[in-house]
Structure 1
Amino acid sequence: MSLANIVDCHIQPDFAECIQDVQSGALAEETFYINVEPSAYKVDEHRVKVTNQASCVKYDAGEANLFEQTDSFSFRARLDGQIYKFKKPIRDFSLQPETTLTPNITSVGSYESFESPKYALGEASGKITIFNDRKAQDLTLEGHDSDVTTVRFFPSGQVLLSGSADMRLKIWSTLDGSNPRTLTGHTGPVTASAIIDRGRNVLSSSRDGTVKLWECGSGDAIHTFTRRSNPKDAINTMILVQVEPELNTQTNKSEYGTAGKTFLAGHDSGTISYHNIYSKDSMLEIPNQFLAPCRTIATNDPQQNSFTIYAGYENGILAQWDVRNPSKAVTFNSWNKGSAITAMHYQTGRLFASYEADSAIYFDVDSNSKSFSSPTYLVSKDFRIAAFACSGEQDGTIAAGEEGLCALY
Structure 2
Amino acid sequence: MAAKLSIQSDWDQVLRKPEGEAWISCKIAGKPTIYGTLKSNGNGPDGNPEVISSEEFVVHKVTKKNIVVSCPRLNISRKFVSPYTSFSRVHSKNVTCMDISSGGGLGVSTSTDQTIKIWQTNNGEIRRVLEGHIYDVYCCMFFPSGKVVLSGGMDAQVKIWSVDDGSCPVTLKGHKGGVLDLAIVDRGRNIVSCSRDGTARLWDCGQASCIAVIGDSSVPINGIAVGLADNAVNLGAPKETPSDREVGTEGKLLILAQEDKLLKGVGLHSRESIFVFEGSDAFNCCTAISSVGVLAGAQDGNIFHLDIRNPKIPIETINRTGSPVLSLVPFKDGYIASHGDGSCFITQQYSDEVLQLTGPDCESLYKVVAFEKNIYTCCRDGLIRKYQLTDL
Q: TM-score range by the shorter chain?
A: 0.7 to 0.9
Contact 1:74 1:85 in 2 (8 A): no
Closer, same or farther: CA 322–40 of 1 in aligned 2, 3 Å: same
Alignment of structure 1 residues 149-188 onto 2, 5 Å: 149-188=138-177
Q: How many residues align?
A: 377
Closer, same or farther: CA 207–71 of 1 in aligned 2, 3 Å: same
Counterpart of 1:255 in 2: which secondary structure?
coil
Structure 1, unpaired ranges of 5+ = 22-26, 367-371
Relative contact order, higher structure (CA 8 A, sep 6+)? 1
1:377 aligns with 2:356: yes
Aligned twin of 2:84: 91
CA distance in 1, matches of 2:273, 2:45: 64
Cα displacement (A) at 1:40? 9.1
Counterpart of 1:93 in 2: which secondary structure?
strand
Aligned partner letter, 2:182: S
Closer, same or farther: CA 399–54 of 1 in aligned 2, 3 Å: closer
Contact 1:125 1:145 in 2 (8 A): no
Q: 1:223 aligns with which of 212, 222, 234?
A: 212
Closer, same or farther: CA 289–244 of 1 in aligned 2, 3 Å: closer
CA distance in 1, matches of 2:30, 2:134: 36
- What is the percentage of aligned positions where both structures have the same residue? 23
Counterpart of 2:96 in 1: which secondary structure?
strand
1:236 aligns with 2:222: yes
Aligned twin of 1:9: 5
Cα displacement (A) at 1:53? 7.4
Contact 2:221 2:259 in 1 (8 A): yes
Contact 1:347 1:397 in 2 (8 A): no
Counterpart of 2:12 in 1: which secondary structure?
helix
Aligned partner letter, 1:237: G
Aligned partner letter, 1:111: S
Aligned partner letter, 2:371: S
Q: 2:37 aligns with which of 41, 47, 67?
A: 47
Aligned twin of 1:346: 330
Counterpart of 1:380 in 2: which secondary structure?
coil
Aligned twin of 2:275: 284
Query: TM-score, normalized by length of structure 1?
Result: 0.84
1:315 aligns with 2:314: no
Q: Deviations over 1:111-170 (max 9, x none)?
A: 122xx7211011122211111343321111122233322211112211110011322111
Q: RMSD of the alignment, in Å? A: 2.7
Structure 2, unpaired ranges of 5+ = 388-392
Aligned partner letter, 2:14: C
Aligned partner letter, 1:187: K
Contact 1:76 1:83 in 2 (8 A): no
Cα displacement (A) at 1:64? 5.5
Greater displacement, 84-93 / 211-220: 84-93
Aligned partner letter, 2:356: Y
1:256 aligns with 2:247: yes
Aligned partner letter, 1:362: I
Aligned twin of 2:134: 145
Q: Deviations over 1:29-61 (max 9, x none)?
A: 221111334349954321112113774743221
Cα displacement (A) at 1:72? 5.6
CA distance in 1, matches of 2:55, 2:31: 25
Aligned twin of 1:402: 380
Closer, same or farther: CA 264–247 of 1 in aligned 2, 3 Å: closer
Counterpart of 2:15 in 1: which secondary structure?
helix
CA distance in 2, matches of 1:80, 1:149: 42
